[in-house]
Chain A
Amino acid sequence: MIASSILWLIPALPLAGFLLAIATGNRALVRVAAPALVGASFVVALVAVATLAGAEAGSRLVDPVYTWIEVGGFRADVTFRLDALAAVMVLIVTGVGFLIHVYSVGYMAHDAGLPRFFAYLNLFMFAMLLLVLADNLLLLFVGWEGVGLCSYLLIGFWYEDDANAAAGKKAFVVNRIGDVGFVLGLLLLAWSTAGAAGMSLDFAHVEAHAAGLGAGTAAAIGLLLLVGAAGKSAQIPLYVWLPDAMAGPTPVSALIHAATMVTAGIYMIARLHVVFEAGPAALAVVAVVGVATALFAATIALVQHDIKKVLAYSTVSQLGFMMLALGVGAFATAIFHVMTHAFFKALLFLGAGSVIHGMSGEQDVRRMGGLRARMPVTFWTFLVGTLAIAGAPGLAGFFSKDEILWHTWAAGHPVFWLVAVVTATLTAFYMFRLLFLTFFGAPRAAPEVAAHVHESPATMTVPLVLLAVLSIAGGWVGLPEGWLWGPAIGRFLAPSTGHPHLAHHGAVGEGTLMLVATLLAAAGAALAWLFYVRRPELPGELAGRFRALHALLAGKYWVDELYDALVVRPYVRLSDALWRFVDQGLIDGAVNGTAAFVVVNGQLWRLVQTGNVQHYALVFVGGAAAVLLYYLAR
Chain B
Amino acid sequence: MATLAFLVLAALLVGSALAVVLHPNPVKSAMALVVTLFLLAVVFVLLEAHMIAALQIIVYAGAIMVLFLFVIMLLNLGDEEQRARPRRRVVVHGVAWAAGALLAVVLVRLVAGAPLGRPAPAPEGYGSAALVARSLFTDYVLPFELAGLLLLVAVIGPVVLAKRGR
**Interface of A toward B, CB cutoff 8 Å:** 618, 621-622, 624-625, 628-629, 631-632
From A618, A622, A631, give the contact of B110 (CB < 8 A): A631
Q: How far apart are A522's CB and chain B's nearest CB, in angstroms?
A: 96
With a cutoff of 8 Å between Cβ atoms, the chain B residues found around residue A632 in the complex are 106, 109-110
B31-39, B43-51, B53-61, B92-100: which one contacts chain A?
Answer: B92-100
Could you give 24 example pairs across A and B, Cβ below 8 Å? A618-B95, A618-B96, A618-B99, A621-B96, A621-B99, A621-B100, A621-B103, A622-B99, A622-B102, A624-B103, A625-B99, A625-B102, A625-B103, A625-B106, A628-B103, A628-B106, A628-B107, A628-B110, A629-B102, A629-B106, A631-B110, A632-B106, A632-B109, A632-B110
Q: Using Cβ atoms and an 8 Å threshold, which residues of chain A touch B110?
A: 628, 631-632
Grouping DSSP codes into helix (H, G, I), strand (E, B) and loop, the A interface class, with mixed when no group exceeds half, is helix
Other than the known A621-B103, A625-B102, A628-B106, what 8 A-B pairs have Cβ atoms closer than 8 Å? A618-B95, A621-B96, A621-B100, A622-B102, A624-B103, A628-B107, A629-B106, A632-B110
Residues of A within 8 A of B107 (CB): 628
| Chain B positions within 8 Å of A622 at CB level | 99, 102
Those 9 A-B pairs whose CB atoms lie nearest each other, nearest first: A628-B106, A625-B103, A625-B102, A621-B99, A622-B99, A629-B106, A625-B106, A632-B109, A632-B106
Q: How far in angstroms is the closest Cβ of chain B from A620? A: 10
A244 to B135, CA, bound (A): 89
Q: Mark B6-34, 1 if CB is under 8 A from A, else 0.
A: 00000000000000000000000000000
Q: Nearest residue in B to A624 (C-beta to C-beta)? A: B103
Distance between Cα atoms of A228 and B26 in the complex (Å) = 87
Closest chain-A Cβ to B142's Cβ sits at a distance in Å of 30
Per the bound structure, the CA–CA distance linking A624 and B102 in Å amounts to 10
CA distance A631 to B113 in the complex (A): 13
A residues near B96, Cβ cutoff 8 Å: 618, 621
Q: Which residues of B contact A618 (CB under 8 A)?
A: 95-96, 99
Give, as a whole number of angstroms, the nearest-CB distance from B110 to chain A.
Answer: 6
Q: Which residues of B contact A625 (CB under 8 A)?
A: 99, 102-103, 106
Chain B neighbourhood of A629, CB < 8 A: 102, 106
A632 CA to B102 CA in the complex, in Å?
Answer: 12
Complex Cα spacing A624 to B110, Å = 13
Give Cα A17–Cα B99 distance, bound, in whole angstroms: 77
Closest to B98 in A: A622
Which residue from chain A places its CB closest to the CB of B102 in the assembled complex?
A625
CB proximity of A486 to chain B, nearest CB, Å: 93
A628 neighbours in B (Cβ, 8 Å): 103, 106-107, 110
Query: In whole Å, how far is B85's beta carbon from the nearest beta carbon of chain A?
Result: 15
Chain A residue with Cβ nearest B95: A618
Chain A hits for B100, CB < 8 A: 621
Centre residue among B100, B102, B107 by max chain A CB count within 10 A: B102
Closest to A615 in B: B92
Nearest-Cβ distance from residue A619 to partner chain B, whole angstroms: 9
When chains A and B are docked, how far (Å) is the Cα of A621 from the Cα of B98? 11
In whole Å, how far is A299's beta carbon from the nearest beta carbon of chain B? 85
Interface 1/0s, chain B 66-108, versus A by CB < 8 A? 0000000000000000000000000000011001101100110
User: Which residues from A are CB-within-8-Å of B99?
Assistant: 618, 621-622, 625
- List the B residue with the shortest CB-CB distance to A622: B99
State A354–B113 Cα separation when bound (angstroms). 105
